Amino acid sequence: MLFWGALPAQANWFTIAGIAGDDSADYVQVDPATLRSDGDRRWLAVRVSRVSERTSAEGIRFRSFQGTAEVDCSASAARYVSAIFHAEPHFAGPPIARLDYPPDRVRPMVFRQIAGDFSARVIRAACAVGQGDRTPPETDKPIEATP
C-alpha cells in the first residue's frame, strides 16, 4: 500500500487538540515537516488517538490511526487519502488495517466528538504555510506505522 509522502526518520508531531499521550482524553497531531504542495493542494501527515474504541465507516474498530490528509485550499476542505489503524491508543501495537481513499471514496478530515474546529485550523495553516512550496507529493514511498 502506498501513501502520499513519507514520514521523516523522526516525526515532528505537533499536538493541535488534547494532550499527547493522555490516556484520559482524545488528541490530534499533525507533522508539519511532511507538508507537500502542488498548486492549491497540500498533503500532510495527521494522527488521532482516542480515549475509547471507535468504528470507522468501513467497520474497522480502532483506538488510534495515522494517515495522510489532502487539503484543497481553493475549496477550504480536506480529506484523508490514506490511514493506518491501530487497536491500541497512541499508535501502539501492529497496524490492524491500512486503507487508501481514492477521490471517489471521500473521507473528510474531521475530528468527530472533539470540541473545536480543528479541521478548519489545519486547512488554514496548511494553505498559509505551503503557498511558496511547489513540491508534488511523493508516491513511491510507503508511510510505515510508528509507535
In this prediction, residues 9-20 reach a mean pLDDT of: 84
Residue 83: pLDDT over 90: yes
- Spatial distance between the Cα atoms of 127 and 29, rounded to a whole number of angstroms: 17
| Integer CA distances (angstroms), 102 to 21, 34, 51, 127, in order | 31, 20, 28, 21
CB 48 within 8 A of CB 64: yes
Enumerate residues 6+ apart whose C-beta is below 8 A from 21. 27, 90
Residue 85, CB half-sphere, CA atoms under 13 Å: how many? 18
Give the least confident one: 23-32, 62-71, 93-102, 121-130.
121-130
In this prediction, residues 48-76 reach a mean pLDDT of: 95
pTM (2 decimals)? Answer: 0.79
pLDDT single digits (tens) 102-126: 999 999 999 888 888 899 999 998 9
